[in-house]
Amino acid sequence: MEGTGYGFLVPVFFVTSGMKLDVLAVSSADGVLRVLLFTVALLLTHLPVAMIGRRVFAVTESVALYLYSATTLSLIVAMTDVAVSKGAMQAGEASALVVFGVISVSVFPFIAAMLLKRTDTSVRFSVENDRGGL
C-alpha cells in the first residue's frame, strides 16, 4: 500500500498539479511581484532557524542551514490544489505559490551548497562530537 501510494499516486498527483499551472498569471508583473513577496515572507519566517543555528555553527553554516530549511514545494502544491478546488484561492495565486516553491527547492539549496563549498568546510555536528569525541 505504501509503495503504491508513494511510488505511483503521489507522483501522479504532482504531475497533474503541475499541468494545471497558470504560467501566464505568473509571467505578469503582478505574478512576479507575488513570487517575490512569497520569497521574502518565507525567508522572514525561517529567520529564527538561522538565529538558533548561529549559536551552534559559524555564520556561513548557519546561513546554509537557513536556506536549506526554507525549501518547500510538496506542501505548497498540495495545499494550493485543495484551496483552488474548494474555491478559496484563485488559480493565479496558486500558480505564483507553486513557482515560488520551485524556486525555493532549486535555488536555495544551490546557494547553500556554494556557501559551504566556498568555506571549504562541512557541517559536522553529531552526538559524538557533542560528547567530546566519545
pLDDT digit string, tens, across residues 7-54: 666 667 667 666 667 777 777 888 888 888 988 988 899 899 888 888
Give domain status of residue 134, yes or no.
no
Residues, the chain, total? Answer: 134
DSSP state of 8: I
Q: What cell was used for 119?
A: 568555506
Whether the CA torsion 109, 112, 116, 118 is positive or negative: it is positive
pTM over 0.75: no
Give domain status of residue 129, yes or no.
no
Give domain status of residue 104, yes or no.
yes
Q: What cell was used for 101?
A: 516553491
Number of domains observed in the structure of the chain: 1
Q: Which residue has the cell 519566517?
A: 45
Give domain status of residue 21, yes or no.
yes
* Euclidean distance between CA atoms 134 and 131, whole angstroms: 6
Give domain status of residue 132, yes or no.
no
Give domain status of residue 131, yes or no.
no
Give domain status of residue 101, yes or no.
yes
Residue 91: give the domain boundaries. 2-122
